Copies of this chain bind each other. A is one copy, B any other.
Amino acid sequence: MHFTSESSADGVTQRRFTLDGVPGVLWQPDGPPPGGRPLVLLGHGGGQHKLVPGLVDRARRCVRELGCAAVALDAPGHGERPRSAQDERFATEIGELIAAGRPISAWVARHTAALAERAVPEWVAVLDALGGRAEGLGPVGYWGLSLGSAIGIPLAAAEPRVAVAVFGLTGHPSQTEAAERVGVPVEFLLQWDDELVLREGALALFGALGSREKTLHANPGGHLELPEPQLLSSERFLARHLGRVE
């Protein structure tokens, strides 16, 4: 883990890094890190990257209000990372399909599954690297919707260090098998009028999650219209399970 820059604002230190060529950002409180602080992994949505404003706001709240550290990575083909010919095709074709009013969920699922196969080992490497530092690794939560869930669900299925997760805005039968292997508490967010995800698919994916403790929160509106109070309360769900709030 090679740190490349550091800045601080309002008590939060933001450090950019690369790990095996993958660019990421780590947010922590200013000052020397104590041991065992909880860590929130932040997965961004499709077409976004590790420093989009909503994600940075969430990271800063995780540090300032919930007493956690937070980390984000650029997903394969996103942010500062090179795009493969397949990534380029995807970015072009999804716009065309939406414009043509064609169903896209199977096609999106196929592409994001390919991204997830590359992204899951990258997150595991981040946990290994952070766990190898002097302060060690506290309990870990994952927060990611849409592409962030397409990556996070197989990550949580494979990685026992992930202890709690917020998922949502996704749902395709190809994700069922990984979902069944998730056993940690999950809050799953669904947008009732999601134009990119079939409602039945999202409900079925929630149903498939193997977690004994799981809760589905559905609200009206489209894929990008999640109500702000719902986003904030999902962060508190994570923090509660990481032992940071009541």
Contacts and interface: CB of A to CB of B under 8 A. Distances in A.
A219 B230 contact: no
Given A192-B207, A203-B203, A207-B192, A217 B220 contact: no
A146 B31 CA distance: 53
Interface string A212-223: 111111111000
Interface string A105-140: 000000000000000000000000000000000000
Nearest to A216: B218
A206 interface: yes
A203 B207 CA distance: 14
A216 B216 contact: yes
Sort chain A's interface into a size bin: 10 to 19
Q: Chain A's interface: helix, strand, loop or mixed, by majority?
A: mixed
A219 B209 CA distance: 12
Nearest to A214: B220
Contacts of A213: 220
Contacts of A220: 212-214
Contacts of A192: 206-207, 216
A140 to B, nearest CB: 22
A190 B188 CA distance: 14
Contacts of A216: 190, 192, 216-219
A148 to B, nearest CB: 21
Interface string A193-211: 0000000000100110000
Given A190-B216, A206-B218, A214-B220, 9 more contacts: A192-B206, A192-B216, A212-B220, A213-B220, A215-B218, A215-B227, A215-B230, A216-B219, A217-B217
13 contacts: A190-B216, A192-B206, A192-B216, A203-B203, A206-B218, A212-B220, A213-B220, A215-B217, A215-B219, A215-B227, A216-B216, A216-B217, A216-B218
